[in-house]
Amino acid sequence: MIKKIALASMMLLTVAQAKDNYGTVNGTPITEEDVASTIGQSGVSFKALNPEMQQRVLDMVVDRKLLTEAAIKSGIENTKEYKTQLESMKKDLALDLWMRKEMKTLEASFTKEKLQEEYKKNKKLYSIPKQLKARHILVKTEAEAKDIIKELDSAKDKKAKFIELAKTKSTGPSGKDGGDLGWFDLKMMVPEFSAAADKLKKGEYTKTPVKTQFGYHIIMLDDRKEASTKPFEAVEAQIKNSLATKAFADTIKKKTDELRKSAKIELKNKPSSTIHQ
């Protein structure tokens, strides 16, 4: 019994460790950072990958770690090129971390009141235009369109009939989907189409053919969303980042101007102001 308990405890400990540990290479753990850097900027989670892809990622991490070990053992760290590039990377890293710190400080400096004030001043930036959800049947001639409208007028279930006619008679690419165009704002369609669709109430269809450069349309409105504004909570982070980015640019400009005053700067090969004809 004691052995079974000990074995179970060891299994639980192994599972807990496996959560953050993908294994080791010559005693060095494979970390979350190793896996993330190998997957790259795809935004895909390692856990979301299928087992085959997970194995491929881990194989790549292992290969990289083995090659890194081999590179270090070769004495590459003692070369002049390595030391030069390392110093350059240190400087780049210092600048990068400092700039991130400055950005975070600026973001933290904006109160909710300030962000709300900015939101109220620029509400147009966060507006959502009116959107329609519609279907259409597109045919070549006005006579064809009028015949289809007559069929719709006499149908009991007008939406079902509209979908049927769209599938059998529409020349548009949406015909196979029953003429479904999904959601769109008015600017996405040609003016004649948008104007006619916007006059309809939900469930209505155009009683006269709508002529556009593509042919003649019969349009049915499935739904509509009136113009609105995104709530403050939905754009708060966006506003904060926007204000911080602008403030950061101003801060960097002032900082570089200040540093230039006390710096000794010697530039070679200055561009000539003379324009040669």
Task: Give the residue-averaged pLDDT of 73-93.
Answer: 95
Q: Which residue has the tokens 């008679």?
A: 169
Within a domain: 113: yes
Check whether residue 206 and residue 241 sit in a common domain. Answer: no
Within a domain: 83: yes
Of the candidates 74, 94, 113, which is a domain's last residue? 74
Question: Has residue 11 got a pLDDT over 60?
Answer: no
**Sequence-separated contacts (24+) of 141-147 with Cβ below 8 Å:** 141/215, 141/216, 142/209, 142/211, 142/216, 144/169, 144/216, 145/209, 145/216, 145/217, 145/218, 146/209
Check whether residue 218 and residue 151 sit in a common domain. Answer: yes
Using an 8 Å Cβ cutoff, are 149 and 218 in contact? yes
Check whether residue 34 and residue 165 sit in a common domain. Answer: no
| CA angle (137 as vertex; 133, 138 as ends), nearest 5 | 120
Within a domain: 4: no
Q: In total, how many domains does the chain have?
A: 3
Check whether residue 136 and residue 122 sit in a common domain. Answer: no
26: which DSSP letter? T
Look up the domain containing 36 and give its range. 16-74
Report residue 43's pLDDT band, with 50, 70 and 90 as the boundaries: confident
> What pTM was estimated for this model as a whole?
0.57
Within a domain: 157: yes
Within a domain: 235: yes
Least confident window among 25-34, 125-134, 225-234? 25-34
pLDDT at 269: 75
Report residue 151's pLDDT band, with 50, 70 and 90 as the boundaries: very high
Q: Which two tokens stand for residue 62?
A: 């292992």
Check whether residue 162 and residue 219 sit in a common domain. Answer: yes
Tens of pLDDT along 173-184? 999 999 999 999
Q: How many CB atoms lie within 10 A of CB 218?
A: 29
Check whether residue 215 and residue 139 sit in a common domain. Answer: yes
Within a domain: 105: yes
Within a domain: 159: yes
Question: Has residue 212 got a pLDDT over 60?
Answer: yes
Check whether residue 117 and residue 134 sit in a common domain. Answer: no
Within a domain: 8: no
Tens of pLDDT along 249-262? 999 999 999 999 99
